[in-house]
């Protein structure tokens, strides 16, 4: 599943001292702080990170739903993997607008990246055995579950 941030709908926040460098930072009007684009990239691609992406979708009945997911950040997009019965995949097929939050709670100043996105279901909901992006899912699994994390994907194949 590919979740691409909308242009001008992504902000990196550092809840420390307020610094207003709108031209150089991911910054949304009314949001304090901000991270440089390079800081956002480093934050989202950190190999040491086991932070979860919180995905917000709208259910068919209009109620919001938030699910925690493993993610991979690559070439300006969030990549997430749904399981066979992940209802949020159906929600995104019906309504691709969504929101994400990735936060680092252990950092002294709670760093986070927030984005309003439009999702594109690339395949799935589960990663197929011969999927072109199986390597992305395997890298993600190793980051979260350790060296043998790719074995965690097995139940998702189908």
pLDDT per residue over 102-154, tens digit each? Answer: 988 776 666 777 777 888 877 766 667 777 777 888 888 888 888 877 776 65
- Residue that has been written with the tokens 């790719």 in this structure: 150
pLDDT band at 83 (very low <50, low <70, confident <90, very high): confident
- Going from the C-alpha of 117 to that of each of 7, 35, 151, the distances in angstroms are 9, 19, 30
Question: Can you give the pLDDT at residue 15?
Answer: 44
Is the pLDDT reported for residue 66 higher than 90? yes
Second CATH level (architecture) for the domain 2-152: Roll (2.30)
Average pLDDT across the chain, whole number: 75
Characterize the bridge pairing of strands 2-14 and 25-26.
unpaired
CA distance 23 to 33: 13
Average pLDDT value for residue range 66-90? 88
- Please list the residues that pair with 116 across neighbouring strands: 99
Tell me the range of 5-9, 17-21, 147-151, 153-157 where mean pLDDT is highest: 147-151
The residue that leads in pLDDT, 54 or 113, is: 54
Rounded to an integer, what distance in angstroms lies between the CA atom of residue 25 and that of residue 39? 9
**Exposed (0-12), middle (13-18) or buried (19+): which is 62, by Cβ within 10 Å?**
exposed
Provide the pLDDT for residue 19: 33
């Amino acid at each position: 599943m590919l979740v691409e941030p909308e242009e001008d709908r992504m902000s990196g926040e550092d809840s420390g001292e307020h610094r207003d460098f709108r031209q150089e930072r991911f910054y949304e009007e009314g949001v304090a702080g901000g991270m440089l684009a390079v800081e956002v990239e480093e934050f989202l691609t950190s190999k040491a990170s086991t932070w979860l992406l919180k995905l917000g979708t709208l259910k068919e009945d209009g109620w919001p739903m938030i699910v925690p997911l493993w993610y991979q950040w690559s070439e300006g997009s969030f990549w997430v993997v749904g399981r066979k019965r992940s209802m949020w995949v159906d929600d995104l097929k019906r309504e691709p607008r969504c929101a994400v939050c990735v936060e680092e709670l252990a950092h002294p100043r709670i760093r986070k990246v927030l984005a309003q996105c439009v999702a594109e279901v690339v395949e799935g909901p589960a990663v197929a055995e011969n999927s072109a992006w199986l390597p992305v899912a395997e890298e993600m699994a190793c980051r979260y579950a350790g060296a043998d994390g790719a074995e965690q994907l097995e139940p998702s194949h189908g």
